[in-house]
Structure 1
């Protein structure tokens, strides 16, 4: 399938593991807020564990998360999806949300896992889209962390400003509209915007990601504005610092960003393996056995990489 938008939309609209059984756990954070994580039901602690990070406004219900969880179970792994604040369907307590450069909650949960797991099995991290950017930034900040075996990052917006500009052009504005609708609805729900000292008019008037990040993301999280947020949070600048074995899967036709944001080989550390495809859209990566049978090869590639990293 060569159309970038069909690659992006088809898996999101027509794929879901409805019978996947998950167990929810609430993790209480040092600031007295919380995040929620969803575990696969297979509880054997000796099985390797895959920690999944969803994308913008995603959750454990996102089709790419559920497909990866199912593939992990089928391949002998356990899996857990960490929800970013506000993404699990339950309103958080504090005047704080999540963003593409926020790694504190991930770091806390990884340390929680370290105590919970007691090094009983290997742990891998897989991040999609915004979650992939968070993952790459965390890896650069924690390159001596031996608890994590290796990582996979998929469809990462390496340059957030580039992505914001691309999403405000052409057909990509449809994705921007959909995601902004979700972001704004979450703020308007239960008058949540008042907790962040925002007005309803400010929320409703926002038309693109740059405006949202400039007026809301930056204000909530202490950045000077959208540009400051993008400059400090974009993962491209941190890739040379990563020491964990890391696979990056990216399509050159990703409609969420231009191909110019893809890092050059010289920007990557020796621990990073970059796999580029010509066609795959944004977290799509499907081919066809026939006109009616799609093959989702992304999850198989993720699991194959993790299996190759397992220490016997």
Structure 2
């Protein structure tokens, strides 16, 4: 558009203004414009200006926090067969543009009508994305020493992809979730479709329609089932390298397990997403915030009760669980008081929360790990993030965004997808592809230099 055209438009003499003369209201607008030439153009530009400002202030740059002296990761060059070491954080920065991109400024841009953490969380809870991220699982039931049962959902099936050295991503779901959750399916689809990796979802006891065969559910402090599952996956896939990813309560279980195992774990890396970290702090948050107290806590408590009463027969003759007390429970804390802490032998519910918090195990983790959190998460709240512990650990990397809610991070306007899938994909690929050889050909792949 040349300056003469712009001048004609501003003066009201451009042919595009002729349609206004056809109506009385249009004539008044045209007359107003000729008297004040900038009013109408400014009014027309105002929505775009508001949208630009809104987008500017709602964009969440990724903030990285890490140790000043991180470990070095070993990289194998398949062309010359040589191994070299590279600073872990610098290696991740160079291969994960969604976490660090100095030219494009790595950031999460939320859906315009979902910049609030509560809206992101609600959308994540109620939209299942049934028509996308279709995964065909093959289920395997695994018995535990106490007579319990956990389910492992494999994708692809072993019929489609027989046992080999394919890198495998081990998933842990959130509270009462399972392999059907959209945040799991979204990442699993990308890892299989774009990279040819294998996925294994650990479904906790009684979750995802798995049977309950003992008078014990699961909790955020109990890591023995995960330990059993990891050992089983290693036995099933002796040549495959493993990376774990946990969401919400599953992230807490994963990171607690990583700290307990230290350098003995079979997982070469871990990713923690929306981790509450401090279960007692999360409990207090659930009791103080209005929406947390009135909506979140009762909703999560109801989900736990549904699973419990689906398997009431396992607790009918229980001497430690009072069914009437469980029926009266409304909040998640009340459920944990009447069921969880008693089943797992804690003297008080707060003792369970304190001892079950993964934050106290962060410093003991001896494998590279990424913690991804949204600062407006109304459940896994910002002030429970163990920043000091993560940055003190040379294996750790913390990535935060201002927006995202709880397991949300929805972007796009007419159709939404999760932004978090991309950085998780990039981190996982970076770890697996550092040395793509099978375990028997890379015996030192779990060694990291200081």
Task: Give the TM-score category using the shorter length.
Answer: over 0.9
Is the CA contact (8 Å cut-off) linking 1:12 and 1:63 kept in structure 2? no
**Whole-angstrom distance in 2 between the partners of 1:88 and 1:26:** 12
1:148 corresponds to which residue? 267
2:426 corresponds to which residue? 304
TM-score (structure 1 length as normaliser): 0.93
Q: Does 1:97 align with 2:217?
A: yes
Please give the per-residue CA displacement for 1:146-167, whole angstroms capped at 9, x wherever unaligned. 5211110001111101112222
CA shift in 2, pair 1:223/1:25, >3 Å: same
Structure 1 residue runs without a partner (length 5+): none
Is the CA contact (8 Å cut-off) linking 1:162 and 1:257 kept in structure 2? no
Is the CA contact (8 Å cut-off) linking 1:158 and 1:234 kept in structure 2? yes
**Whole-angstrom distance in 2 between the partners of 1:101 and 1:190:** 21
Please give the per-residue CA displacement for 1:37-89, whole angstroms capped at 9, x wherever unaligned. 11112525232100000011001111111112112112321101111111131
Q: Determine which of 391, 399, 409 is the counterpart of 1:275.
A: 399
Is the CA contact (8 Å cut-off) linking 1:95 and 1:195 kept in structure 2? no
Which stretch shows the higher mean deviation, 233-242 or 146-155?
A: 146-155
1:183 corresponds to which residue? 304
TM-score (structure 2 length as normaliser): 0.66
Structure 2 residue runs without a partner (length 5+): 1-109, 437-450
**Whole-angstrom distance in 2 between the partners of 1:267 and 1:248:** 8
Please give the per-residue CA displacement for 1:253-298, whole angstroms capped at 9, x wherever unaligned. 111043211112355411010001100101111222xx21323111
Q: Determine which of 5, 29, 43 is the counterpart of 2:161.
A: 43
- How far residue 135 of structure 1 moved from its aligned partner, in angstroms, is 0.4
Q: Does 1:241 align with 2:360?
A: no
**Whole-angstrom distance in 1 between the partners of 2:241 and 2:311:** 41
Q: Determine which of 175, 185, 210 is the counterpart of 1:66.
A: 185
Which stretch shows the higher mean deviation, 92-101 or 145-154?
A: 145-154
**Whole-angstrom distance in 1 between the partners of 2:210 and 2:272:** 26
**Whole-angstrom distance in 1 between the partners of 2:194 and 2:410:** 20
Which stretch shows the higher mean deviation, 134-143 or 11-20?
A: 11-20
CA shift in 2, pair 1:142/1:205, >3 Å: same
2:258 corresponds to which residue? 139
**SS of equivalent to 1:167:** helix
* Count of paired positions: 309
Q: Determine which of 226, 244, 249 is the counterpart of 1:130.
A: 249
Question: Highest Rg: 1 or 2?
Answer: 2
- How far residue 96 of structure 1 moved from its aligned partner, in angstroms, is 1.1
2:32 corresponds to which residue? none
Superposition map of 1:163-202 within 5 A: 163-168=282-287, 169-172=289-292, 173-192=294-313, 193-197=315-319, 198-202=321-325
2:72 corresponds to which residue? none
Which stretch shows the higher mean deviation, 104-113 or 27-36?
A: 27-36
Which stretch shows the higher mean deviation, 62-71 or 226-235?
A: 62-71
Is the CA contact (8 Å cut-off) linking 2:120 and 2:409 kept in structure 1? yes
CA shift in 2, pair 1:297/1:234, >3 Å: same
User: Over the residues paired in the alignment, what is the CA RMSD in angstroms?
Assistant: 1.7
Please give the per-residue CA displacement for 1:189-213, whole angstroms capped at 9, x wherever unaligned. 3534425443332012112222221
